[in-house]
Amino acid sequence: MSLMEIGQTLKKERKRQQLSLEDVYATTKIGMDILRAIEEADLNQMPHLVYARGFIRNYSNFLGLSGEDMVQAFDEAMEVEAVQATHRHRGAGTRKSADEKAGKKSGNKAPVGLVLLLVLVLAGLVYYFFLSPPAEQPRKESPAITKNASSEQEQEQAEMGPSEEANASSGERAAGTNRSAATASGVSDEGESEEEIGESSQSGQNGTSLARSEAEQEVEANRSTQEDNATARPASHELRIAASEACWINVDVEEGVRDFYLEPGQERTVQFRGTGSFILGNAGGVTLYLDGEEYSVQAESGEVREITLP
């Protein structure tokens, strides 16, 4: 059987018994992601080969099928998959070399396009410097026009009578008198404007102090709200798992559910708030440290244990 046939056989038998993945997980303690990967023959989501064989054996026995037969079929399917992967790798290398040869052949046409581009650039330069029509230059105004304008102004001034000049001078004197009067009135009104400015500045200071007190009250209210939220949130914990033997671990905390594997000598730290549920596939092969202190599990090697912390 192929991997897909193995998965379909297990899935068909599970549905025939009207069981869900949650029902299988509740008894076998195999993560639902792993069960789904086995049924769908998804190698990317399956665990290491050693753990996958054990999960398939337990899953088959739970459904009443022969676990040894299913494991043997799984081993044969993995051998076939390895051979096919090797062929695919060789085929990819052959296609790559063929593509490189085709690229070299097509690369010979590149110099022809480059030569055509250079010819077009040279043709444009020749047209711009030698064949394009000269630009029109701006016309200069004749100095005679300026001279005529100045002579007309002198003639108008000469024609003005003495009476017109007197009227112009009297108008200038009247304008000066008006400016002095405006200055005097401005000085007289200055005292009143200073009083108004003082009153407005005092009211502005009162408004500023009121706005500052309201801002301080708002900051104090926000601080108290943050303190209440910090008190209401559950405490955070840190669990360090050190493996002396290979172990599969399922973590169910507030942030979500996930699986991971530890080889001998590896460690993993899990941070969580409130309480968390942990399933140890080999509880006797790991040592737990909760918030820096060792947490005793008291289990034997190979024993599956589910614990709730803290």
* CATH number for the domain harbouring residue 27: 1.10.260.40
Question: What does DSSP assign to residue 127?
Answer: I
In a domain, 104, yes or no: no
In a domain, 130, yes or no: no
Rounded Cα–Cα distance for residues 282 and 303 (Å): 5
Examine the fold and report which residue of 38, 58, 83 is the final residue of a domain before the chain moves on. Answer: 83
Structure tokens at 94: 């052959």
Q: Give the Cβ contact number of residue 272 at 10 Å.
A: 20
In a domain, 18, yes or no: yes
In a domain, 21, yes or no: yes
Question: What integer pLDDT is reported at residue 3 of this predicted model?
Answer: 87
Examine the fold and report which residue of 83, 107, 132 is the final residue of a domain before the chain moves on. Answer: 83
Residues 6+ apart with CB under 8 A from 14: 21, 24, 39, 63
Residue numbers of the domain that contains 287: 236-309
In a domain, 140, yes or no: no
Rounded Cα–Cα distance for residues 75 and 3 (Å): 9
In a domain, 96, yes or no: no
Rounded Cα–Cα distance for residues 299 and 224 (Å): 47
Question: Does residue 226 contact residue 219 with C-beta atoms inside 8 Å?
Answer: no
Q: Give the Cβ contact number of residue 187 at 10 Å.
A: 8
Structure tokens at 190: 């200055």
Rounded Cα–Cα distance for residues 263 and 241 (Å): 11
Q: List Cβ<8 Å contacts ≥24 apart for 272-275.
A: 272/236, 272/237, 272/239, 273/233, 273/234, 273/235, 273/236, 273/237, 274/234, 274/235, 275/308, 275/309, 275/310
| Distances in whole angstroms, Cα of residue 103 to Cα of each of 89, 92, 108, 109 | 21, 16, 9, 10
In a domain, 49, yes or no: yes
Count of domains forming the chain:
2
Question: What integer pLDDT is reported at residue 188 of this predicted model?
Answer: 38
**125, amino acid identity:** L
In a domain, 64, yes or no: yes
**Mean pLDDT per 10-residue section of the chain, whose length is 310 residues:** 91 95 94 93 87 92 93 90 78 58 51 80 77 55 46 53 45 45 39 46 54 72 67 82 92 89 93 92 93 91 88
Rounded Cα–Cα distance for residues 295 and 38 (Å): 33
Q: Give the Cβ contact number of residue 62 at 10 Å.
A: 19
Examine the fold and report which residue of 64, 83, 102 is the final residue of a domain before the chain moves on. Answer: 83
Rounded Cα–Cα distance for residues 71 and 77 (Å): 10
